[in-house]
Structure 1
Amino acid sequence: MKKIMLVDDEILIRENIRECIDWEKEGFLYCGDAPDGELALPIIEAQLPDILITDIKMPFMNGLELTSVVRQKFPQIKIIILSGHDDFQYAQQALRLGVEDYCLKPFSAADLLQLLRSVSARIDEELRIRHKYAYTPENLFADLCGGLISTAAAYEAAAQLELQLTAPYYAAAIFTLHPPNMEESPELPPASPDAEALLAGLLKEAADSFIYKRSRMEMVLIYKGSDPLRMNHTLDDLCAAAKKRLREGCGLELSVSRGKVCERLQGIHLSYLEAENDRMFKQMSRMHSAAMLEAYYDPSAHGVLLDRSRLVQFLKSGDHRQMTGFLLELSKELEQMNWDSGYACYLMNDITLELVQTAKNGFRAAAGHAGILQELQTQLKQISSSNDGLQYLKQLYERLWEWRSEGADKHRELIDRVKQYIREQYDKEQLSLNDISKVVRVSPSHLSKTFSQATGQTITEFLTATRMDRAKELLKSTGHKTFEIAYLVGYNDQHYFSNLFKKVTGMTPMEFRRQGNTGEQLHTIRRGAGHA
């Protein structure tokens, strides 16, 4: 999906564009917005949108200035200018700067979507020309698994290669050959042409599937179909037959790591990531146990789908004071899980991989902790109940927060000053990165980078979290109306505040106020955190 970013100083325009279009359904990903060009540049650098929509007249840095900078630094980004009739001469100047098109105000969501589709088609055409003669089947399948090719470009490449990609559902699986006693000899043996040929032949027999060789002992199967249940049954049969044939014919074992069945061609990437996480877990498990771990989904546990973004956000911005409430929320979900199933182990491992990877990407001190995943495997194997799971996650968060603290020590004084200033000024609607940088006397770009590396969250995320925490306090302890609370925490627009509050908490302000803290919830906190 093409990534879209918006820059406009009018909050109502930003809200309307953000909320009135079902971006994912239309084939786009809305990756952020900003009120002026100066604040937009760090977001553009971080997100690298495919299409940038920007107003012409804005404070601090106007649309023409922003266009000039973006064209020099990120020439691949396509730019659409928003302008009123009175600004048409500026729009003409923007076209000379190399923008793709302009959109006259006022405009409807349908007008904007039509323009975005047109620009998106131009991007796809450029990709098609660039990749016209570059793709082989293996390159195409590797790019699909890696999420490195758009849907349109993939279909174009497949047509040139005479491959039929179209299907309602897709999934990926990784097939890994290894000796029978992997614990005694963890090093992979030299590749066996006979074993590779046998495995390739078995996989090619699977209907509606494609394969590519990922490494000397690994092959990836991409399979498609119209019935997810039948697809899983077919793969079950294929895996059982392949394992038996390779064991009998070559004396090798076969490990299969699978991702879930997904809709849309881009779902291949998501399925592949799940399969890769599964493969990593099995590989690490073999270092500690002679038994092969088959961590497949347990149908009775399919209802447990934890919000990964919430888990990651708590890693970035949470602290010990919030741990009890956080464990309460998790306990309600984890208690539904069948802890005797392989799925429970798979889920906890998947959460661990995501949190550790987030910490390694965001916390500078994580560089010196390369062996943590192997260390955590022993603890993962001890989990047999929801309380064990909560205790494990509590310890994991505390461990990763140590990395966050270590990384922040170098800039502790600067970070503390920034946080203190935000806590004092959070109720000012126009509080910006530029304002904060002037107070602490460092450049906006350096401050933004330093704060993110030291804390694992952006300054905007910290400001929003501070405002939302204060809003929760006011909702619980006062009778103020929603628009009054919005104003008290720095938002002059009640609608914008309510939407943001629901995005952060999962509830509207009124739902949060009505929920309160019941005696049953407090009991659950004590019971769920009993081992913490």
Structure 2
Amino acid sequence: MYNAIIVDDEAVVRIGLKNTIDWREHGFALIGDYANGRDAWEAIEQRKPDLVISDISMPFMDGLELAGLIAANYPYIKVIILTGYDEFEYARQALRLKVSDFVLKPITAREIRGLLDKVRAEMDEERERREDLSRLQSQLKQSLPILRERFLERLVAVGLGKAEIADRFAYFGLAPLAAGSVAVVADIDDFGDRELPSYEHDAEFLRFAAFDIFEEVAERQGAIAFRTREERMVAILAGEGDGSDLYETAFRYAEEVRYHIEKFLSFTATFGVGRVVPSAELLPASYKGALSALDYRFLHGKNRVLGILDLEGRPEGEPLANAAWDRKLVSTVKTGSVHEAQTLIEDGIAELKRSRVPIETCFLQMQKVVLALMNAIQEVVAHDREASIDSQMMLMEVYKFKTLDEIEAWLKQVVGAVMTEIAENRNHFANAQMHRAVEYIETHYADDKMSLQDLCRHVHMSTSYFSLVFKQHTGETFVEYLTGVRIAKAKELLQATGLKFYEIAAQVGYGDPNYFSLLFKKRAGMTPKEYRERLAKESGA
């Protein structure tokens, strides 16, 4: 059963569609109907329907604008446009937005039933293609050659020269990457509630099913997809222009794959998005950032798309390469797992004891660990803040100890201090970004075109992560907060000026005076006229 909503400003159309169609008979549950695109968009963000049937001409937000938002943020949702306007330009725009159907009114109940059957058949076909075990098994045997995967893994993990990249891309038939590139890394969380048999190939089959989705969406984006020897899935996306656009494209790509894996395979994966780099030779920096973002799964939970820019901001420079133990310890320190960090320290010291290496080698190893930890602080601490930990002092302090047990206790203290520093910076970074966001809203509230996307570009955060942090910081969504600011400004104008209500509406960012009046009453408990009359009565008393 698929979920559907209706959007039309004509109540008779909505009632007719609800009452004359047996939605369940056609495989749909009608979960809502809305009179304008703005209300529908809020519902879509919350409920994520499978199908949206919308009129074009509506107040506040028309059908094409709504279809554009859906295409940009939830490309897997199908859209049917109903319109009374037989104009080529409307049809052309709908085609560009990948609308499933563009239908002229009036339309009969029989035609609507046919449309629903057609869309359901398309959805069923998509589901069947993903659940067709024999097809997946056949594709497993014909997957990309191992040499291609190993080359791509070397490209992102180690880095290659420009000439070798060009040569290998031509050899494997890969299109050259554009100027900007970004790595997306996916890791399967678990296989859900299903009980896997003991033999490993069933687990591998499920991994391949996930990669089949990962690769299929990548091909549509013109991206390169492959699997690593650690069973992770990697995509390389490239594009010209603003790096923030490519970063958002990578987020949308990851969100679409995440949705399909959960919906069609009934298990989950978490995605890390690295930083955009200016050339293919620098892809290891983006890949390393994507892996670091994945480490934050410990903090934020499974089944998410995590971006390194959202979590750690824009560093002045990339971190130095660390040994495996160093990297694992730093990753754990950054996620804030005190118990796991201490366990890693104990394991590392125990390994040094077993190896019986000279004491000088132990000191050098500890200095490498301290350098890795200090590098982690530089990576995540904002450039306008100075770290409170003296790295030079720590590097020299290691030489005063006489036993590995003393070094273990000291290293645990160092890790505790570093974790505190990183946690404080994480709060500082989030607070600073939210302060910038609030300042932007306070400055641009009068712009009726201001959107969540504009604000996120200003603070260099993805829309999904920004929405989460902003709600935690302010207690309100972006729309709720913006509405509050605008209504507060309107109250000031009502009290201090004699402007007409439509003039006040325009000055606080509302082109539609009626919509402004509705919002004002919802917030203030009275209309603008009643509010001004009350102020006049109070001042006269």
After TM superposition, the score normalised by the length of structure 2 is: 0.31
Larger Rg: 2
TM-score normalised by the chain length of structure 1: 0.31
